[in-house]
Amino acid sequence: MSPAVHPASPRTVRVQAPGKINVSLRVGPPRDDGYHSVASIYLAVSLYEEVAATSVPGGGITVSMKPADPQHFGSGPTGGQEQEANVPLDAGNLAVRAAAALQDAAQVGDGAHLELVKRVPVAGGMGGGSADAAAALVACNALWDCGLEAESLSRIAAGIGADVPFALLGGAAVGLGIGERLTPAPATGLFHWVLVPTPAGLSTPRVYAELDRIRAEAGADVVEPAADANVLRALESGDPATLAEVLNNDLEPAALALAPPLAGILAQGRRHGALAALVSGSGPTVAFLGSGAEDAVRLAHSLTRNGLEAFAVHGPAGGASILPGA
């Protein structure tokens, strides 16, 4: 009798991609396409989204979520089921869109199931959805043996969202245009941060619209932005005290207008010894800069004891990468 033939197990590739902090975000006027010109200085941090891409027959792309580790965002008071409820599990998911774009560009006939582990706060101004998309691109590129180089993946990424190319790249970088035109920026050593998410997300388009309203009301003259040279020098110096003096975010006043409780969180972090505090991107996640690793851990503990969810991270962190065993 011939031995039974068992079908090969489906192949799975696991990839992680980082969330980000905008250590500088200068916003210019609205463009004809509805976006705004920006000059952003990105810093990838050690809070990672994870995507496991598994081969499936046919050309379909599906997505599901797996709970995050208890020590990460995604399972605490601001995460868990509430996070899942705010993440589309259909063709509107950025990871699905990224996989579909790669499938089209590389003329792939195979399909994939994408399992997401979300640790970056949803709608938190830290590019979690963009990190999902970047991870899906890298995972499916390997899963389907597409063989696309980083430059080709970055072009596809730019069509998915402004922050997706940076999630591929990681490290520190200047982003121009709508943030997709990247130039790596030198950064010395590690900068240590404490992140505080809040339960309700802020819509990025709504925050930009509020900034436009504030500027129009003030009669502000809005010009094309340029990267902040002081922030670039501070990153290169490796000195957190120098960086603390120059952190900036043009979207912060709009985020505070739409979510006034953020002002109290910023003040609380400063009272507990943060070198600097700012809203991350369009918010509502708040980032506090510490003087070092131990200082950041102490600050996170202090804020947690005072009723906030707080988590210490560092940056720059690496970009999207395949995990061992994939």
Point out the residues that are catalytic.
Answer: 20, 163
Separation CA 113–CA 62 (nearest Å):
5
How does DSSP classify residue 121? P
* Tokens at 145, concatenated: 């043996």
Contact 300, 195 (CB under 8 A): no
165's CB contacts (< 8 A; 6+ apart) are: 134, 154, 157, 158, 175, 180, 182
Buried-state track 132-169, b at ≥16 Cβ within 10 A, e below 16 = bbbbbbbbbbbbbebebeeebbbebbbebbbbbbbbbb
Q: What number of other Cβ atoms are within 10 A of residue 75's Cβ?
A: 17
- Cα dihedral sign, 121-20-257-215: negative
Helix ranges, 185-260 (H): 204-218, 229-237, 240-244, 252-258
Separation CA 299–CA 303 (nearest Å):
6
Nearest to 30 by CA among 175, 204, 178: 178
Nearest to 191 by CA among 267, 39, 295: 295
